[in-house]
Amino acid sequence: MKIALIAHDHRKQSLINFITAYKPIFQQHELFATGTTGKRIMDEVGLEVTRLQSGPLGGDQQIGAKIAEDDLDLVVFFRDPLTAQPHEPDVTALLRLCDVYRIPVATNEATAEIIIRGLNSGWLEWRTIKESVGIYNE
């Protein structure tokens, strides 16, 4: 599976801790991340990550583009709900595209834990059945 990993500054250490805890699972998958998050994952967890731009410089939009191209299966985005972001519209757009394309998205540890354990148990295999993954069009 292709997994995007993103965290705002005040949530980065929590994401690093989370990925470290589940490293044996994450290392079985193809990882993508926004710039600063990706550097920390590589340096501090030792996982290989394809780094995109930093969030404020367009990284969230690049992740969104991958979703629109059906090139991403899961998003773990530890958002900071207490700090205004200069690129808030990009954050909103990314989360919106997750809903448009029915991409599982975790914005905190509680949800991420369930999704990553589910991923490891094969609960996301439906994503590989392309016919079931259509866009939101009701």
Active site residues: 60
- The Cα 80–Cα 49 span in angstroms is 22
Residues near ligand 13P, by CB under 6 A: 6, 8, 34-37, 54-56, 59-60, 91
- The Cα 29–Cα 13 span in angstroms is 21
- The Cα 109–Cα 96 span in angstroms is 20
CB of 20 to ligand 13P, least distance (A): 17
Instruction: Specify the DSSP class assigned to residue 7.
Output: E
- The Cα 97–Cα 92 span in angstroms is 9
CA torsion sign, 21 to 24 to 29 to 31? positive
The smaller minimum CB distance to ligand 13P, of residues 7 and 130, is found at: 7
CB of 89 to ligand 13P, least distance (A): 11
CB of 132 to ligand 13P, least distance (A): 29
Q: Would the annotation count 66 as a binding residue? A: no
Q: Would the annotation count 121 as a binding residue? A: no
Q: Would the annotation count 12 as a binding residue? A: yes
Binding positions for substrate: 8, 12, 34-37, 54-55, 87
